[in-house]
Amino acid sequence: METSSLTESGDRPAQENAPRRRRRLILTVLTLSFAIFLYANLPLAEWMTNFDLYVESLGPAGPPLYVIGFAISVALFLPVLPFSLGAGALFGFWTGLLVALLGTTGGASLSFLLARTFLREQVERRMTRRPTFRALDRAITQSGGRIVFLTRLAPIFPFSIINMAYGLTGVRTRSYVAATALGMIPTSGVFVFLGSTAVDLAEPEEDAIQTSLKIASVVVTLVVIVLLTRFAQKAIREADIQT
């Protein structure tokens, strides 16, 4: 009798998780399908190219405008990858990294504050019933900004959605902003570096040695980001947050 009871209780979590995994798979497929539909039917690449050209023509006023555009895109749930790559291509690595971090952190903070104030009821209806959110909220209560930092290192949650979710937790605004900025450095650095390197590699005067070194740098950078992501994923699992 005891063995049967233990077996049933052990199987129950797996049975309960199965519908959630199916819903997550369906949601992922629908999201990807919608994204493909948008890219196929809207001239997003053309808009991004025109925006980059306009920013480039502004000179010193370009980076601040790019930060604003970046932040708005994050708050509007638009892809941030083109902005990160564009920051590196337009401004080089160091200025591009600063621009990307300000844009990403600014947009994430805007979403956070909207969820905490004007959009709180709407976000609560969508988030509070989810087991992942409840686990996240418990972890925030215990660890605060550390969990925010880890989820930025490991981009395993949808970036725009988790920004809203954090607005419902007890994390302090100051801790949230600081942890977001620090946690986004590796990921932003990789994409900005790729953007700046792509421009350098396109230059005709590049010799073979310089090209090889830059390609090797890209590979090493990607390896580092993979290792950081695995470390963060392990820490998130240890905090009992289901992804």
Residue 3 has pLDDT above 50, yes or no: no
Q: 148: helix, coil or strand?
A: helix
Helices (H), 42-144: 44-57, 62-75, 81-91, 93-116, 120-127, 131-143
Cα(54)–Cα(33) distance, integer angstroms = 31
pLDDT digits (tens, 9 = 90+) for 128-164: 777 778 788 888 877 778 889 988 987 777 788 899 9
Structure confidence by residue, pLDDT tens digits, 188-243: 988 898 888 877 666 655 566 666 666 676 677 677 667 777 777 777 777 666 55
**pLDDT value at 101 more than 80:** yes
Report residue 98 CA to chain centroid gap.
16
HEC letters along 129-140 = CCHHHHHHHHHH
CB atoms within 10 A of CB 116: 18
pLDDT at residue number 108: 96
Q: What is the pTM of this model?
A: 0.74
pLDDT of amino acid 2: 40
Q: To the nearest 10°, report the CA torsion of 224, 228, 233, 234.
A: 110
Chain segment 34-87, per-residue pLDDT in tens: 655 655 566 666 777 788 889 989 999 999 999 999 999 999 888 788 899 899
How does the average pLDDT of the chain come out, rounded?
78
> The tokens of 225 are what?
């980001």
Asked if residues 131 and 48 have their Cβ atoms less than 8 Å apart, the reply is: no
